[in-house]
C-alpha cells in the first residue's frame, strides 16, 4: 500500500516533507497517486516523433498540415503547431470549433461534408477562421454552391481524390472530377485544391510498398490538379498524406502540403508497417494487475476495451499484438506478453512462451502499448504527460464528441 | 437544407410559429437540429426492455442488481432503479462516486479490486454508502484485511467464483476458496457472499445452451456458499448474472440477487444469442450519408468507429453484422444493408444483395444498430432520448472515465 494513496488530499504537504529529506521525483509521486487505467504520454518521445516528421516534410519545402484527430488536445496543440496560423487538419467540427475558439485560424475539415453541417462551417468562417471543407460528389457540390448563394458567403472547398480505391474520393481520371469542379466554379465557390489520403498504405509492410503508395498518392492529385487547370479551373493547392506515406516520400514536387496524424504517438500498427520502432511509441495505457489465473497462466488487469479500445489493427499484420503489448511501469517491453482478451473493464494478459505470470503480483502497474493510438486515445478524457528528463507532469484534456 | 438547421438560435420561436399553423412534432424538430453522429434511445422500447427483465427476475422473488456499466447516466438511473436504496452494480469507482453523490446507497463494484483503489472505496463507505467490492485471491484478501485493520474500517467483500472458466474467479471446489474466505473472516472483514458472472453465455446460441449456462452459473455459487457455511464462515448472499442467463433461469432457489446490464438497450449480439429480437434494440447511432461510390455500390456515412465503436461482437455469431445493421431514420431495418468498414469518422455501408445504394441520397439520415450497446454507448458523451408516443425529447449525460 502506497502511503501517497492513503491521503490524496494532503499530497502537497507530503511532497514538501519528502523533498526536504530525500531526492524524490515529483513525477513518481504524481504517478503513484493516479488511479489506473490512465493514458500515459512519454513527452520527450512525443516531441522526438513530431520533430522527425517536421524535418522530413519541411525538408521537401512543403507545408505540414498535421491532423488533430489523434491528439485532440488544446494543451498539446502548441507542440504540433508552430503558431495560430499553422495549417491544421480536423476530423470533426467540434475540433474545429475548439481550435478556432483558441485562436487557430487555418483549418481543413477533412471528412466529406454533410450538407446539414454547413451552418456550423459558415459560423466559423464568419468569425474569421480560414476553414475549408471536403467533398467528392455533384450533390455535395450543388448543396454547397446553393448554400453559399443563399447565405451570401463563400466556403472554400477541397475536392477529394481517390488514389487507391480505398474509401472516398473521385478517381483522378473520372469525368465526375470536372463536373464537380464546374458546379463549384460556376457557383463562385472557391476551390482550394485537390486532396487525397492513401488509406491503403496501412496495409503496407515493406519500404517498396510504401514508396509505391506514396507515389500513387502524390501522382493522383498532381494529375487531378492538371486536369482542372487544363479546363481553366483554378486549383492552387495539392494536399496528400497519411503517416506511412508521409514518412516515405522521395520527392514532393507538385505538392503543396502533407497531412498526417498518428505520428506524434505512433503505435503498434505503425511499427508493424515499419515506419517506427516499438521503442518510439509515445502513448500507453497504465493499468494495474488485479488477478492471476494459475491454471491458465493468465494475468487479469484493470484495463479492458473501455481503456484500450476494441481496435485489433495488428490482427492482419505479421505480428498480431492482440489488444496491445505489455511493458513494465518504466516502459520496457516484457517480451512474449500481450493482451489477449478484453472485456469492458478487464484485460487478460497471456504469454507466448510460458513466462511465469505469478512473478507479476496483484497490484503491480504495467503499461500497455496500443494497436492504434487514435482509437486508444479516443477512449479517454485526458492524457497524463510525463517528462522524466525534466521531472514534469502535465494533464492535457481531450476534445470529446462531435 | 432544413430550415431548422439554418438558425438554431431561434428554434423556440420557430417551434411556436409552426405549432400554431400545422401539427408539428417537437421531436421531429429536435432531431432535425441535431448534428450527426449521435446516440438515439427509443425510450418506450428502453422501458419495455427494463420491465421485461424486472418481471422475469422479480417473478423468482429475487432482487435485481442492474449493472450500471451500460447506461452510465444519472438522468436515466431512475428508470433502472426504483429508489435510492435499490441494489446497483458498477464497473468503475467513478460510477460509484457519481451514484453516491446522487444519493444511491447500495452499490457493488464488480471488478476485482486493485489494492490501490481501497482509499476511494473507504471514502465512499465513510460517507454512508453501502459499497461492496470483489476479489478472488489471497493477496487481495490480505490487502483488504490489512487495509481495514490499518484504517479501522470494514469493507464488505464478495468472493468471485469462476462458473465457466471464462475470465476471473475461484473455482467453487478449489481449496483457495476457503483460504481466501479465512483471511477475510479472521481479519474481521465482512463477507457479503459469493458472486459469479457467466461471461461464457455470450457464446451461446440456443435455449438449451443458455439454460445450461444459467444452471452452471447458479449451481457454482450455491455450492461455493455451502462450502463456506460448512466451514463456519457466514455467506449470506449469492449473486449471479449476465443478460443472456438472466433471461434464461428456470428456477432461482438458493440465489439472492441477479446482475445484468445490457438488457435495457439490447443489441445485435443479444439478438444473435437469441434473448431479444432485433426490433427490441432500443439504442442506435444516427448518421448522415456523406458519399456514394458507384463502382463499389457503397455508401459513406459520418459514423465511423469513433461513433460506432470498434466492437465486432457478431463476427463469431451465425449472422455477422459487420459494424452494425442499417435502419431508416424511423428505425425500420433496411434488409441486406450493413456497415462493412469503419475508419475514425467514416463508415462504409454495403449490401448483401445488390440493393441500389444510389437510391439513398447524400444528406439522408440513417440509424445504425450496435453490435454491443455497452461499447457503442461508451463512445458518446450523452444520449438523445426520444419518446414518440409522448412527443418528448430528453438529453441524458453519460459518466465518463474511471
DSSP string, B234-296: ---EEEE--HHHHTT-S--TT--EE---STTT--HHHHHHTSS-GGG--EEEEEEEEEEETTT
How far from chain centre, in Å, is Cα A203? 17
The residue among B209, B196, B203 whose CA lies nearest residue B163 is B196
Q: What was the pLDDT predicted at B166?
A: 82
Q: Which of B112, B118, B300 has its CB closest to that of A300?
A: B112
Q: Where are the domains of chain B?
A: 1-29, 30-42+275-397, 46-267
Helix H or strand E segment including A147:
helix A138-151
Q: What was the pLDDT predicted at A25?
A: 84
Burial of B376 (0-12, 13-18, 19+ CB in 10 A): buried
CB contact under 8 A, B402 and A37: yes
How far from chain centre, in Å, is Cα B215? 22
**Taking residues B64-81, what's their average pLDDT?**
98
Q: Which of A111, A116, A118 has its CB closest to that of B346?
A: A111
Q: Give the count of alpha carbons within 13 A of A193, CB side only.
A: 18
Architecture of domain A23-42+282-397: Beta Barrel (2.40)
Taking CA–CA distances from B109, the nearest residue in chain A reads A345
CB contact under 8 A, A300 and B69: no
Whether residue B231 is preceded by a cis peptide bond, meaning omega within 30 degrees of 0, is no
Terminus-to-terminus CA distance in chain B, angstroms? 41
Return all residues near B75 (Cβ < 8 A) that are at least 6 apart. Answer: B394, B395, B396, B397
- For the domain B46-267, what is the CATH code? 3.20.20.10
Q: What was the pLDDT predicted at A21?
A: 53
Return all residues near B399 (Cβ < 8 A) that are at least 6 apart. Answer: B72, B73, B74, B94, B95, B98
Cell numbers at B230, concatenated: 460448512
pLDDT in tens, chain A (402 residues): 333 333 434 444 444 444 445 567 888 888 999 999 999 999 999 999 999 999 999 999 999 999 999 999 999 999 999 999 999 999 999 999 999 999 999 999 999 999 999 999 999 999 999 999 999 999 999 999 999 999 999 999 999 999 998 889 999 999 999 999 999 999 999 999 999 999 989 999 899 999 999 999 999 999 999 999 999 999 999 999 999 999 999 999 999 999 999 999 999 999 999 999 999 999 999 999 999 998 899 999 999 999 999 999 999 999 999 999 999 999 999 999 999 999 999 999 999 998 999 999 999 999 999 999 999 999 999 999 999 999 999 999 999 999
Residues of B in contact with A290 (CB under 8 A): 111-114, 140
DSSP A275-304: SS-GGG--EEEEEEEEEEETTTTEEEES--
- A19 backbone dihedrals φ, ψ, rounded to 5°: -70, -20
Alpha helical stretches, state H, B88-231: 93-101, 118-126, 138-151, 175-186, 207-230
DSSP B322: B
B281, B268 Cβ separation under 8 angstroms: yes
Q: Is the pLDDT of residue B134 over 80?
A: yes
State the pLDDT confidence band at B17, using cuts at 50, 70 and 90.
very low
**Taking residues B49-70, what's their average pLDDT?**
96
DSSP B327-393: EETTS-EEEEEEEEEE-SS-EEEEESS---GGGS-TT-EEEEE-S-HHHHHTT-SEEEEEETTTTEE
Core vs surface per residue B261-298: b (16+ CB within 10 A) or e: bbbbbbbbbbbbbbbbebebbbbbbbbbbbbbbeeeeb
- Out of 3.20.20.10, 3.90.800.10, 3.30.70.1520, 2.40.160.40, select the CATH number for domain A60-265: 3.20.20.10
The residue among B112, B53, B13, B386 whose CA lies nearest residue B248 is B53
Q: What was the pLDDT predicted at B26?
A: 84
**Taking residues B160-181, what's their average pLDDT?**
95
The residue among B356, B327, B354 whose CA lies nearest residue B339 is B327
Taking CA–CA distances from A90, the nearest residue in chain B reads B345
**Taking residues B45-58, what's their average pLDDT?**
96
ipTM: 0.92
A298–chain B nearest CA distance, Å: 9
Return all residues near A299 (Cβ < 8 A) that are at least 6 apart. Answer: A289, A291, A292, A293, A348, A349, A357, A360
B55, B75 Cβ separation under 8 angstroms: no
Taking CA–CA distances from A348, the nearest residue in chain B reads B167
Contacts 24+ apart (CB under 8 A), B145-149: B145/B183, B145/B184, B145/B186, B145/B187, B145/B188, B145/B189, B146/A1, B146/B187, B147/A1, B147/B115, B147/B118, B147/B122, B148/B187, B148/B188, B148/B189, B149/B187, B149/B188
A151–chain B nearest CA distance, Å: 10
Distance (Å, rounded) from C-alpha A38 to C-alpha B402? 8
Cell numbers at A56, concatenated: 522530413
Alpha helical stretches, state H, A152-260: 175-186, 207-230, 243-246
Q: What was the pLDDT predicted at A18?
A: 47
Q: Which of B114, B151, B311 has its CB closest to that of A36?
A: B114
Distance (Å, rounded) from C-alpha A147 to C-alpha A238? 25
Taking CA–CA distances from B307, the nearest residue in chain A reads A401
Q: Is the pLDDT of residue B298 over 90?
A: yes
Total residue length of chain A: 402
CB contact under 8 A, A302 and B114: yes
Residues of A in contact with B167 (CB under 8 A): 300, 341, 343, 346, 348
> Residue B393 pairs with which residues in a beta bridge?
B386
Distance (Å, rounded) from C-alpha A93 to C-alpha A305? 26
B149–chain A nearest CA distance, Å: 13
State the pLDDT confidence band at B22, using cuts at 50, 70 and 90.
low
Q: Is the pLDDT of residue B15 over 50?
A: no
Architecture of domain B30-42+275-397: Beta Barrel (2.40)
CB contact under 8 A, A114 and B343: no
pLDDT single digits (tens) B254-296: 999 999 999 999 999 999 999 999 999 999 999 999 999 988 9
Chain B interface test: which of A109, A112, A171 (most B C-beta within 10 Å): A112
Amino acid at each position: 500500500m502506497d502511503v501517497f494513496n492513503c491521503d490524496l488530499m494532503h499530497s502537497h504537504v507530503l511532497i514538501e516533507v519528502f523533498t526536504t529529506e530525500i531526492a524524490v521525483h515529483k513525477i513518481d509521486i504524481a504517478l503513484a497517486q493516479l488511479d489506473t487505467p490512465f493514458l500515459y504520454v512519454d513527452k520527450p518521445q512525443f516531441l522526438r516523433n513530431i520533430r522527425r516528421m517536421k524535418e522530413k516534410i519541411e525538408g521537401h519545402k512543403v507545408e505540414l498540415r498535421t491532423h488533430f484527430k489523434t491528439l485532440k488536445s488544446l494543451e498539446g496543440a502548441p507542440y504540433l503547431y508552430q503558431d495560430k496560423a499553422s495549417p491544421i487538419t480536423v476530423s470533426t467540427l467540434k475540433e474545429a470549433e475548439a481550435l478556432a475558439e483558441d485562436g487557430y485560424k487555418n483549418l481543413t475539415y477533412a471528412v466529406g461534408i454533410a450538407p446539414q453541417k454547413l451552418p456550423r462551417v459558415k459560423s466559423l468562417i464568419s468569425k474569421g477562421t480560414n476553414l475549408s471543407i471536403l467533398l467528392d460528389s455533384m450533390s455535395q457540390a450543388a448543396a454547397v454552391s446553393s448554400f453559399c448563394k443563399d447565405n451570401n458567403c463563400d466556403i472554400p472547398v477541397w475536392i477529394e481524390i481517390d488514389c487507391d480505391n480505398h474509401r472516398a474520393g473521385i478517381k483522378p481520371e473520372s469525368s465526375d472530377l470536372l463536373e464537380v469542379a464546374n458546379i463549384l466554379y460556376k457557383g463562385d465557390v472557391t476551390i482550394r485544391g485537390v486532396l487525397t489520403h492513401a488509406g491503403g498504405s496501412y496495409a503496407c509492410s515493406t519500404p517498396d510498398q510504401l514508396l509505391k503508395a506514396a507515389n500513387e498518392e502524390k501522382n493522383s492529385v498532381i494529375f487531378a490538379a492538371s486536369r482542372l487547370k487544363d479546363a481553366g479551373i483554378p486549383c492552387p493547392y495539392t494536399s496528400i498524406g497519411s503517416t506511412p506515406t508521409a514518412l516515405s516520400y522521395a520527392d514532393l514536387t507538385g505538392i503543396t502540403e502533407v497531412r498526417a496524424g498518428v505520428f506524434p504517438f505512433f503505435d503498434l500498427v505503425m511499427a508493424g508497417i515499419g515506419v517506427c520502432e516499438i521503442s518510439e511509441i509515445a502513448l500507453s495505457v497504465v493499468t494495474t494487475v488485479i488477478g492471476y489465473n494459475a491454471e491458465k497462466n493468465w494475468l487479469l488487469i484493470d484495463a479492458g476495451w473501455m481503456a484500450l479500445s476494441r481496435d485489433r489493427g495488428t490482427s492482419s499484420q505479421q505480428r498480431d499484438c492482440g489488444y496491445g503489448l505489455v511493458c513494465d511501469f518504466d516502459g520496457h517491453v516484457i517480451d512474449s506478453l500481450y493482451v489477449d482478451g478484453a472485456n469492458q473493464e478487464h484485460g487478460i494478459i497471456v504469454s507466448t512462451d510460458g513466462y511465469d505470470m505469478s512473478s507479476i503480483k496483484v497490484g503491480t502497474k504495467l503499461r500497455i502499448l496500443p494497436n492504434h493510438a487514435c482509437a486508444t486515445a479516443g477512449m479517454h478524457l485526458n492524457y497524463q504527460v510525463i517528462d522524466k528528463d525534466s521531472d514534469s507532469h502535465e494533464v492535457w484534456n481531450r476534445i470529446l464528441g462531435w
